[in-house]
Amino acid sequence: MPNIAALHEIYATDPNALSTTINDIYDRIECEGLNPVWIALIPREKTLARIQQLSLLPEGDRRKLPLFGIPFAVKDNMDVAGLGTAAACPTFARTPATESAPVVVKLEQAGAILVGKTNMDQFATGLVGTRTPYGVCASVFNSNYISGGSSSGSAVAVASGLVTFALGTDTAGSGRIPAMFNNVIGLKPTRGLLSTCGVVPACRTLDCVSILTETASDASIVLAVARGFDELDPYSRVPSASSGAAPWSIAPIFRFAIPTLETREFFGDVHNPTLFQKAIDVIKRDLGGEPVDIDLTPFLAAGNLLYKGPWVAERYTAVGQFIEQHAKDIDPTVYTIITKAKDYTAVDTFNGVYELERLKKKIHMLWKKFDILLVPTAPRTYTIDEIAKAPIERNSHLGYYTNFVNLLDLAAISVPAGIRPDGLPFGVTLIGAAFTDTALLLLGDRIHRALATNLGGSTRPLANTPKLLPTECNSMSSNCFLIAVVGAHLSGQPLNYQLTERNARLVRTCRTRHDYQLYVLKGSVPLKPGLVRVTDFKGPGIELEIWALPADGAPSFISMVPPPLSIGNIFLEDGCIVKGFLVEPSALDSAQDITHMGGWRAYLDSMNLHV
């Protein structure tokens, strides 16, 4: 299935393309069969009627819909008006929902076309995709291997080209594991960024709606539509202006943590260690990454709390009574996991919370050494038969690098990272602080393009799809304040620490437009220059540095700017406008004009005044 941009181009040139695209999807499903990918479909006639309504919209209104005509699917633990919600358990399916989950409503209001609801591990309890009565989903690359779960059908629907994007859920890795096994993007957003109202809970405090696409660009578009505060969702959150600041995302160098060799685990797989090391080497060599070895032990200890601690009781809270009353309809492994919750007491729960907080503090201190964490998405891939022989143990293996993410309130994106010698896909996951979702998508797109070639299970080239690029001039993607410095705050100069202690990161060195002059301010301590814009002046332009300053550090930084300096707009030679240091014209009466030197460093060199 073409990506969002490509479909929009097709629709713009062919008035019949939208109905043809959707009819082709339904024809293919009729040919291939509903299961195992799908649990329920929107009736074709209802979908075609919706297309007819969309087609009647004026061209200007269509362009305002970012997902106009884009086919998508949702996991069958989400409410869709007119369909039952089974969560892969037929007897659980309630009467048809009267309204759709808010996240589904948002997507449809943006013009997206819902095709149907996809298969899953029952009650979202599993990372394998085999715990379902609707048929086992397999990897699109080899039918002997698992698709991964619990969002199995959603990943396969995208990878096999049935839809452009799909929604899953991700509590312990359910949106990331199937993404790796099917060579697609799996975005696990920050908890609370997307509403979980109308979603059958697994662990209500940890659940996330996940996004599966072929490219990071498409995931970014879907995320922008789907996110937003929901007052009916008690766990919905609104990020502050400074939440998720990621100056590293627009800097030429970033630090990425990797597990030490002692804490890397592949459970006997012989191919994935090599591909993971290749990913590390490419990120270091080609993308400006600086690897930092870390002991993954505290992360793994947090992850163990999810299934080997009291958090499993949350699953019982959601559906425990139902499964005990309908034991014959429940997958035996799902039944075992959820009923185990009764072994935990309230005391166990509080002790688990205390242990998690202890681990969070330890990890917070560790995180100061790096910007993001890079791990394999899954240690290895299992066959369907291998999972059947050890369903709980091998499911646990799959969650080695995923289980801890939501417990630690982190964001993550799984990215395709090459094809193994046996033809199966490999993937890596980028993990960042809460609300760094957009920054992770930006870096994820670069890594995807550096390591992968084709889209999903197709031969269509990734290189033909739109890149996801930062908009540096406004720096919104990094939640940072871009500040131009020309003197004492330059790298290596006396006041540069005021930037670095606020976690600012150097973005680039550049020049102002030609209508700026630079002066040495008399009596300033430490010695400082003054930059001023002069109408109709034509000079060489002044060299400066652009720094990305996290938004929460900007007020205190600006408060330290002494007169006669101030912060104002600076026009750069490339057309960007950024905030930066300027000087009041009244301070220039006795100042030395050094404009001809082109910058502060050249002046310091001429005077042999370098610090």
Q: Measure the N-to-C terminal CA separation of the chain; round to a whole number of Å.
A: 58
H or E element that contains 28? helix 17-32
User: Helix (H, G, I), strand (E, B), or coil: what is residue 548?
Assistant: strand
Could you tell me what percentage of the chain is helix, strand and coil, using 3-state DSSP and rounding each to the nearest 5? 40, 20, 40
Sheet holding 425-433: strands in order across? 38-41, 113-118, 71-75, 165-169, 209-213, 185-188, 410-419, 425-433, 372-376, 254-259, 289-294
Contact indicator for 111, 68 with CB cutoff of 8 Å: yes
Q: For residue 255, what are the contacts with CB-CB under 8 A and spacing of at least 6?
A: 248, 289, 290, 291, 292, 369, 370, 371, 372
Backbone angles phi, psi at 110, to 5 degrees: -85, 5
The helix/strand/coil state of 39 is strand
Residues identified as active-site: 75, 150, 174
The CA distance from 119 to 134, in Å, is 7
> Helix 332-339 to helix 312-325 angle, to the nearest 10 degrees?
120
Residue with tokens 């949106």: 175
Give Cα 95 distance to the centre of its chain.
Answer: 34
CA 143 to chain centroid: 29
Cis peptide before 564 (omega within 30 of 0): yes
Structure tokens at 49: 């009627």
CA 477 → CA 92, 247, 423, 481, 551, distances in Å? 41, 9, 35, 11, 12
518 C-beta neighbours (distance < 10 Å), count: 30
What amino acid is encoded at 209 in this protein?
V
Look up tokens 């997958």; give the residue.
331
The token pair at 547 is 């720094």
**Strand 289-294 relative to strand 142-146: parallel, antiparallel, unpaired?**
unpaired
Question: Residue 256: enclosing H or E segment and its boundaries?
Answer: strand 254-259
- If we measure between CA atoms, which residue out of 378, 355, 359 comes closest to residue 295? 359
**How crowded is residue 16: how many other Cβ atoms within 10 Å of its Cβ?**
10
Structure tokens at 218: 């498409």
Question: What HEC string does 409-423 produce?
Answer: CEEEEEEEEEECCCC
